[in-house]
Amino acid sequence: MPNSVALVEAFWDAVWNAHDADAADDFVVEDFVITNAGVRIEGRENFKTWIRAFLDQVLDLRLEVAESFQNHDGSRVASRWTVHGRNNGLFGLEPDGRPISFSGTAVWEIEDGKLVHNHVERAAHELHQRLLAA
């Protein structure tokens, strides 16, 4: 059985924690899809553009995995995680450098050792409310 958890966590380290959108080429298929808060971003190049934009809005981004597990054949991985960083215009707000953190979950579809689809839910509303209140 493949170790799909290791694949997902290697992706997070190489792309998000290393702040390198181009590293996604090593992990995701050409027609990769991410569904984030109900919005579909289709294609590896569009995904990399989305990663770069997000990294621009969250300085010093660091993703910490709380737990991950895979199904019986390694075709699905589910994870809980927390992102930490500093606000650089997230949600269109003033880039003030304030520390931010938010939690999320991801369910990955994996085929032949590559990431195919990522379904993400994150506590964006709660983070937005905290940033507005301060």
Sheet holding 28-36, edge to edge: 39-42, 28-36, 114-122, 99-111, 76-87, 58-70
Specify the higher pLDDT residue, 39 or 77: 77
| Under 8 Å between Cβ of 63 and 85 | no
Q: Is the pLDDT of residue 1 over 80?
A: no
Kindly state the average pLDDT of the residues 16-22.
98
Domains of the chain in start order, with CATH, are 4-133 (3.10.450.50)
| Under 8 Å between Cβ of 69 and 78 | yes
- What is the C-alpha to C-alpha distance for residues 100 and 60, in angstroms, rounded to an integer? 10
pLDDT of residue 132: 83
% of the chain exceeding 90 in pLDDT? 83
| Under 8 Å between Cβ of 92 and 8 | no
Supply 107's token pair. Answer: 């369910």
- What is the C-alpha to C-alpha distance for residues 72 and 45, in angstroms, rounded to an integer? 31
pLDDT of residue 134: 67
